[in-house]
Amino acid sequence: MKYFSSLLLAVYVLFFAPAFLCADEAEINHFRSEYSVFNNYYEIDEDTGFEFWHGFAYSNRTDTTLTGMAGQYTAVPGEGALGTTIYGVVHWSSYSGVYPTIEFDSETVVNGAYFTNNMFAYHSMAEGDDFTDPFDEDDWLEVTVTGLDAQGNETGSVSFYIAENGYILDDWKWVPLNELNAVKSLKFSMASSDTGDFGMNTPAYFCIDGIDDQIYFDDLSLEPESFWNGESPDDSDDTDDSDDSSSDTCFISSLKKVKE
């Protein structure tokens, strides 16, 4: 099963990924919340119409019945860390060479953040999919947060599991990050026990909220049961959202774009 899944993934990467995974070809739509900027890259493959994004998105979805790609914008708890409406969604693309990154206005000691799984990754681990078998007690999914100072030097890393020993995280978990000391930015990466020749078979997604116990995305706006994934207004008319939750509504006028 896993051999066949790795073969499918290889075909997917070789024939589809190069068209839209390169960060320098994707549209840059970083967004700001409070005193931090979150990177986002969005692309539509001209040949296939496939929509791809990586970095940070944000969502207010509460429908936890969504599975597969339709669940990629939904946190497993169905709400933010403290019952708030909007939360962050992270997609790490190892093929792009670009880490999901939060950049702060100035160096700061980040106390921590809340993390949980999203529905796409959760169901893949719990039930398996076209690319992977269900997790067993020996499988794990790990997130690593690395701090960078103002000069770009690493200040340290914190790694933690959002699935291990037969348990898949289904609630918000506070992870202390203050041991990274003062940072100008945080970058995120992932690792999985289910990894083949072409990288992780497990969907490389997780959700985040309450960064530094202050950034809860409540200064952003979304229509009900919606999300923002970096899609621009020019793309929105041509987007087909098969899961009936249109990202057409998700590019918001109140979004504070980063000045070039």
44 neighbors 52 (Cβ within 8 angstroms): yes
Range of the domain at 225: 2-249
Residue 43 and residue 52: Cα distance in Å, rounded? 5
Assigned domain for 256 exists: no
**Domains of the chain: total:** 1
41 neighbors 27 (Cβ within 8 angstroms): yes
Assigned domain for 76 exists: yes
- The 10s digit of each residue's pLDDT in 127-162 is 999 889 999 999 999 999 999 999 999 999 999 999
Q: What is the pLDDT of residue 234?
A: 43
The DSSP 8-state label assigned to residue 80 in this structure reads -
Nearest by Cα to 246 from 216, 224, 221, 213: 224
Assigned domain for 130 exists: yes
Assigned domain for 13 exists: yes
Residue 12 and residue 83: Cα distance in Å, rounded? 37
Could you give the residue ranges of the DSSP H alpha helices within the chain?
A: 2-15, 17-20, 119-127, 233-236
Assigned domain for 258 exists: no
CATH code, domain with 102: 2.60.120.1350
Contact partners, residue 259, CB within 8 Å, separation at least 6: none
The neighbouring-strand residues paired with 186 are: 102, 147
Assigned domain for 257 exists: no
pTM of the model: 0.81
- The 10s digit of each residue's pLDDT in 179-214 is 999 999 999 999 999 998 888 999 999 999 999 999
Nearest by Cα to 227 from 40, 38, 60: 60
Instruction: Answer with the residue of higher pLDDT: 245 or 111.
Output: 111
Separation of first and last alpha carbons in the chain: 47
